[in-house]
Every structure is written in C-alpha cells, then in structure tokens.
C-alpha cells in the first residue's frame, strides 16, 4: 500500500555541501529539525556504495518514521525497500518507472513547465518537484521557474507540488498561500553549522 507523505519540508542530500562528518549525522539532525521527507541523491559513487549508503540512511528514516525517496535509481529503491523514486526529465520516464516499481511505490518527477507537469501527472506521477525557483549552486544548469509558472502548474495539476531551487529562510515565506505542498531544500539546511536549527527555521517560515 502506497504511503501517505507529508511534503512540507523535503530534504535532498548532497554530501559535498554538508557541515557534518557523515551523511547519517546530517540526515538525522535535519529530521530532528522537522524535515518530513528525505531524498537520497548520490551522483558520484558506485552502485554498491549507493546501496550501502541507502541502507544506512533508511535505518534513520525508519527510526523516525520518515519516508525515504531515492534519486533516479529504481534498482536501489527496490533493493533497500525505499518508499519511491524521484526522477528528472532526462531520467527514465515515469511510465517505465511505474512498470518497474509497481503501484505501491511513490514516484516524483521534476518539472519546469506546465506541459511537463501535466504530462507527469498523466503518466502516473505521485508528486512534482518544480524549479529551480531561484538561482542554485547545486544545479547550475537548471532552468529558472517564475512564481507565475509555479502558480500555473498548481492550477493545471491535482497532485502534490514541492518547490525546489535556491530556497532558504530569506524566501520561504513567499510560497505561503501558493497552494503548493512543500519546499525541497539542500544547502539551506545541510551546509549550516546547526542543521537542526536550520530545518526548524525553514519549517516555521513555510505554512502550506
């Protein structure tokens, strides 16, 4: 049975940005600060390392009863029993991921236009990651999405929407009242000396 997910504060990992010695520490501190969902994103490691990392992170998310998503890799998600997969526009199509993962897994798709969003919903996506909303150092080639486009996407689809890209305490409140379901954050949490406090501040700034 597919898990119900609270998208309010969605942590995406990036070990190059974290202030802690280990990814496990960073994730646990973020969850303690109020992150409601974790996506494990590993672009520069072997499949075996990704698998072992995912197992370690899943122990933490299970302990706190927080869902775990895997970026891009359906095989890793299935191998560790994660809740689902998040895929970009250049990754495997949503329809293919659904065939691989079955109906009980959650699939998120990145979208930067209304057309991409509508197609993702049509293909069976469970939620959308819309962005980049602001300039972001984690994805320098990301196309920037205006607030008007975000609102147009919200009006065009019925599935949950998470905004991503350059979001921090200085702009999180701009998303209140837009009808979106959550904020996805990387550096505004992971790079801070006090990760728990950074997550708590962001969660307080955003009220879906």
For the chain, what are the domain ranges? 9-205
What stretches in the chain show pLDDT beneath 50?
A: none
The CATH homologous superfamily to which domain 9-205 belongs is Aldolase class I (3.20.20.70)
Q: What is the DSSP letter of 2?
A: P
Quote the strand ranges of 53-102, DSSP E: 68-71, 84-87
116 burial type by CB count under 10 A (0-12 exposed, 13-18 middle, 19+ buried): middle
Q: What's residue 179's pLDDT?
A: 97
pTM value is: 0.96
Q: What's residue 2's pLDDT?
A: 83
Q: What's residue 136's pLDDT?
A: 76
Active site residue ranges: 41, 110, 139
Q: What's residue 141's pLDDT?
A: 64
Q: What's residue 178's pLDDT?
A: 96
């Amino acid at each position: 049975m597919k898990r119900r997910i609270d998208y309010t504060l969605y942590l995406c990992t990036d070990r190059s940005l974290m202030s802690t010695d280990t990814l496990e520490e960073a994730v646990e501190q973020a969850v303690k600060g109020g992150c409601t969902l974790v996506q494990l994103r590993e672009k520069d490691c072997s499949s075996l390392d990704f698998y072992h990392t995912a197992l370690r992170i899943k122990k933490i998310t299970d302990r706190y009863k927080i869902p775990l998503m895997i970026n891009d890799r359906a095989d890793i998600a299935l191998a560790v029993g994660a809740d689902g997969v998040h895929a970009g526009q250049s990754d495997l199509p949503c329809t293919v991921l659904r065939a691989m993962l079955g109906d009980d897994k959650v699939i998120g798709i990145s979208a930067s236009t209304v057309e991409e969003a509508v197609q993702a919903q049509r293909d069976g996506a469970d939620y959308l990651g819309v962005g980049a909303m602001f300039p972001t150092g984690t994805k320098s080639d990301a196309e920037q999405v205006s607030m008007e486009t975000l609102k147009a996407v919200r009006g065009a689809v019925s599935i949950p929407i998470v905004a991503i890209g350059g979001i921090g305490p200085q702009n999180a409140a701009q998303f209140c009242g837009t009808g979106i379901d959550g904020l996805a954050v990387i550096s505004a949490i992971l790079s801070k000396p006090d990760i728990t406090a950074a997550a708590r501040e962001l969660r307080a700034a955003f009220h879906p």
